[in-house]
Amino acid sequence: MEIEFQRVGKKYESGQEALSQVSFHLRQAEMAFLTGHSGAGKSTLMKLIMMIERQSTGNILVDGVDLSTLGKGAIPYHRRRVGVVFQNHQLLFDRSVFHNVALPLQVSGADDAQTGKRVRAALDKVGLLGKEKLNPMALSGGEQQRIGIARAVVNKPQLLLADEPTGNLDPRLSAEIMNLFQEFNRVGVTVLVASHDLALVARMRHRVLTLNQGHMVNDGGFS
């Protein structure tokens, strides 16, 4: 999936200007990191791509389609093509690992056989095959994060968004998670990861977009 921001600005109703004049182009099958101090606008940028928020100015093109031309009814179908790992909106603890991961498939109406196959494939990729019947509560923080990733990729999305996916994890687990994203990217998925873990980002050797107070201050190689 291809993402293009054209001089995008976002001003919240409170008057706070979260993004201003942000332009960048993320190509098909590209992987990039989004960095910046907290409050720099990383989350806002991700929300705009997910159509959780709408931009105030500028255009956002996804595969050439201007998101501002899409009505409310189109939002669910847009979101089905994007896998997200957000820190809040995590797992549901009233159901098993399997049913957490299966949610995107159920929502888009996959049949049971297909669902079972895809869920197990996704869990296999994140190394949790065999724990599908457990409640997520019974798993460790790192494993829970990987359930979230399995849920994000189970639908074979064309774009993977991750907002601070390594937030509470130790360096070894963080590296594992990042490697997972890299693997998805290798099979053609466009990946955008927001992280403030600069050391980790630098090690990954990918394109880095840096936000500072809503402005894109750096777009280029790893710093």
Partner 1 sequence: MAKPPQPSRRGATRQQRQAGKTKNPWRTGQRFDIKLYLRQHQAFLKESLGRLVGHPLASIMTILVIAISLSLPGGLFVLLKNVQSVTDQWEQQSVISLYLFPNQDDTQALSLSHQLSSRADVASVEYISKEEGLRYFEQSSGYEEIMSTLPENPLPIVLKVIPKAAVDLTTLPALQELRAHLQSLPQVEHAELDAEWLQRLATILDFGQRFVYAISALLVFAVLLIVGNTIRTAVESRRDEVLVMKLVGATNSYIRRPFLYMGFWFGVLGGVFATLCIILLTLWVSAPAEQLIELYHAEFELQSFNAVEIIICLTISALIGVIGSWIAVSRHIRDIELQ
Where does this chain bind partner 1 (CB under 8 A)?
47, 50, 52, 63-66, 69-71, 73-74, 76-81, 84, 86, 89, 92, 94, 103-104, 107-109, 111, 151, 155
Minimum distance from residue 33 beta carbon to partner 1 (Å): 22
Q: For residue 32, what are the β-bridge partners?
A: 192, 207
Which is closer to partner 1, CB of 55 or CB of 155? 155
Helices 112-125 and 141-153: crossing angle, nearest 10°? 130
Which is closer to partner 1, CB of 47 or CB of 207? 47
Minimum distance from residue 205 beta carbon to partner 1 (Å): 30
Q: How far apart are CA 222 and CA 135, in angstroms?
A: 39
In the structure encoding, which two tokens stand for residue 85, read together? 């790992």
Minimum distance from residue 220 beta carbon to partner 1 (Å): 29
Which is closer to partner 1, CB of 100 or CB of 174? 100
Give the H/E segment covering residue 59. strand 57-62
Give the H/E segment covering residue 218. strand 215-220
- Smallest CA-to-CA distance from 72 within 47, 52, 43 is with 52
Minimum distance from residue 93 beta carbon to partner 1 (Å): 9
Angle at 163 between CA 62 and CA 101, to 5 degrees: 85
Minimum distance from residue 137 beta carbon to partner 1 (Å): 14
Which is closer to partner 1, CB of 15 or CB of 109? 109
> Which residues 6+ apart lie within 8 Å of 98 measured at CB?
119, 123, 132, 133
Which is closer to partner 1, CB of 97 or CB of 208? 97
